[in-house]
Amino acid sequence: MNPVFEMHNSHITIANPRKLQMPAENSKLSDLNPSELAWQRLRKELIEIGLTKKWPETLAMIGAVHLVASLFCHILYRYVQTIAAGPYLLIWSVQLTTNLWIIRKLVGKGWAKSSPLIGILARIWATFLIISFSATSYSEISADQANNFNWFKPVWASLSCFAWAVTAWIVNPWFVLAAVWTWAMGWAMIFWIKDAYLIYGVAWSVLLWIIAAILIRQRHKHFPVKEIQERNTPSA
């Protein structure tokens, strides 16, 4: 079991970051694995940042923005019945810009450099966005495919599954559950392809809200409110 996460009564809890000890404190130097030590330090740092900074609130707001954007796309496709690229590109551009503004506003400038693992994860999810846009662009090349079956929508689910799986291998295996969730989302999108935007929006938003709720619960458990406020107060 990863020392950062524990199981209690069939639910996941995060071990207190303050109580996480490096193996160097209890082991002989000759027994240490440098790579394991490095990963444990990085994970400890990542979780402490995730709990003390406003990442839970950020994820919750990004989930809400994603749901709103997906609802607009759903209305355009299902009821307005347009597949013109312009309106969708506008919605996605506004969504991306809003998400970046939320992160910078709540977490602060230089958030991607606050931890080596955050920088790696930011690059992974940026790649996810690039490939998702690429798949969407390919679909728009063929009008027949765009009208009969939007194959790129289930591809979004596969890319989501991949990104969450990579996150699990880097951060913690429990994120595999998020990969499974998005895999199931893909099947739902295939069976109800006309409602794919709605399914994608609801599934992703619920997932982000669940993660945010877990982080907030653990924050209240391990850190006093005053310390959280101090860590989120911009330095003069």
Q: Give the total number of structural domains in the chain.
A: 1
Per-residue pLDDT reduced to its tens digit, 202-225: 999 999 999 999 888 888 776 656
Does 219 reside within a domain?
yes
Burial bucket for residue 218 (CB in 10 Å: 0-12, 13-18, 19+): buried
Domain residues for 96? 5-231
The tens-digit pLDDT sequence of the chain (236 residues) is 444 444 444 444 555 555 444 444 444 444 557 777 777 787 787 877 777 788 889 999 999 999 999 999 999 988 888 777 788 889 989 999 999 999 998 888 888 888 888 888 889 999 998 888 887 776 665 555 555 556 778 888 889 999 999 988 888 788 899 999 999 999 998 888 888 899 999 999 999 999 999 888 888 776 656 666 556 665 54
Does 236 reside within a domain?
no
Does 24 reside within a domain?
yes
Per-residue pLDDT reduced to its tens digit, 158-217: 899 999 999 888 887 888 999 999 999 999 988 888 888 999 999 999 999 999 998 888
Does 87 reside within a domain?
yes
- Answer yes or no: pTM beyond 0.85: no
